[in-house]
Amino acid sequence: MKYWDHALKQLEAYKEEAFAINFELAAHPEISGQEEQSANFICNVLAKAGISVERELSGVKHSFRGTVVKGDGTETRPKLAILCEYDALPNIGHGCGHCASGSISTLAALTLKGLHEELRLKGESGLPMDVDIIGTPDEEATGGKVDLVNAGEFNDYDFAIMVHMDGVESRPNSAFLALDCYRVAFHGVPAHAAGEPWNGVNALNGMNLALQAIDMLRQQTRPETRIGYYVINGGNASNVIPEYTEFELCVRHTERAYLDTLVEKITNCIKGAAIATGTTYEMNFYGNSFDDMKWNETGTELIAQVYDELGIPHENGKPTDLGSSDIGNVSKICPAFHPTLRLKGDDKICHTIGFAKAMTEPTIKTSIEEGASIITKTLLYLMEEPNRLEAIKAEFDA
């Protein structure tokens, strides 16, 4: 590659800045929607390197956009996005590795910025495509990328990428399930459970019947369906007929259209339980709807080639153990990619304290360098061989 050796020198020059981001965020994790200091820390590093930063995109708190590479405005150029995550999990910290993932994205941005300026100092025009780094908060809860998508912040991009940590395997891309979450409350009438239970209306009965009906529904759903729930409030005392109960419900599927039909059936389960028990219910949407990931084989093959060239062992094909992420919504607007990188050492389980501790181990530095190399080399391929980007976009449009 024409620019790769020069890019490696820039990556080497900026890597300590990225390590500092990771260890700062790991030591001071901020949960979804509260990432003020995390976003500030990353933005300050970007600004120090000469990357202009715009905050609070379309009013989305703790989001940002850094202009990494930009042409002189005399011609229309392809526009590439590096996505940056930095939120943590309640009571666990960075058990999903977003401190490392965000550091990877930042290091890739710093590397490309340095390379662009190096080329311009030599009298060249710099890198031939525009590049932005976009800070996307709140992935673990309501999905900040969805808000940014709905506001049109991704409409002008031709390609988006980030690298996520994994405890078991590396893959050049991820597949995700569409996801809807709800908070469901049942209302009844309190009464003494021994003295006059006949005067009460049991909200717990309504909730239990609804959950039983939803569990029965599983028998008639497609095998890709995933339904999960937990009880938020089940009453306050055993000798009082509960007047209020609440649970949270998540339903997922590989296809958004089928998921919408499931939501209708689940709503009927809840409504029927309320009728049967004489209770009333409220069913409120929680967070944002996450879309399934739009798979792009052309781009995935390019990233797999990059893994091979970097000597990173990886699995090919679509993964079968699927979760959900708000990058699925981005993938419906432009080709979007979510390669994963296995942490060093023994296998680890994501969303655990052990995974969070791995973010503080010295080996995480190697992972950050590898992840930044994946993003940087992929984007350089698109710049040096623009026919690859055209092929990726053609598959996306088809």
CA of residue 366 relative to chain centroid, distance:
22
pLDDT (tens digit, 9 = 90+) per residue, 110-134?
999 999 999 999 999 999 999 999 9
Question: Exposure string (b/e) for 194-224, b if CB count within 10 Å is 16 or more?
Answer: eeeeeebbbbbbbbbbbbebbeebeeebeee
Per-residue pLDDT at 73: 81
Residue 44 near residue 33 (C-beta atoms within 8 A): no
Asked if 294 and 380 touch (Cβ cutoff 8 Å), the reply is no
Using CA atoms, how far residue 254 sits from 177, 225, 251, 281, 369, in Å, is 5, 7, 11, 29, 32
Q: What residues of the chain score a pLDDT lower than 50? A: none
Residue whose tokens read 């260890």: 23
Q: What is the pTM of this model?
A: 0.93
pLDDT at 88: 98
As a whole number of angstroms, the distance between CA 381 and CA 298 comes to: 13
When computed from its CA atoms, the radius of gyration of the chain, rounded to whole angstroms, is 24
Q: Where are the domains of the chain?
A: 4-176+291-397, 178-285
Distance CA 74, CA 207 (A): 62
Whether 4-176+291-397 and 178-285 share one fold: the answer is no
Predicted local confidence at residue 393, as pLDDT: 98
Q: Which pLDDT score, from 0 to 100, does residue 388 have?
A: 98
CATH for 178-285? 3.30.70.360
Query: pLDDT tens digit string along 262-320?
Result: 999 999 999 999 999 999 999 999 989 999 999 999 999 999 999 999 999 999 988 88
| Cα separation values, 15 from 9, 52, 163, Å | 10, 20, 16
What CATH class has 4-176+291-397?
alpha beta
333-366 exposure pattern, b = at least 16 Cβ within 10 A, e = fewer: bbbbbbbbbbbeeeebebeeeebbebbeeeebbe
The tokens for 88 are 């943590």
Q: β-pairing, 244-253 with 178-187? A: antiparallel
Residues composing the chain: 398
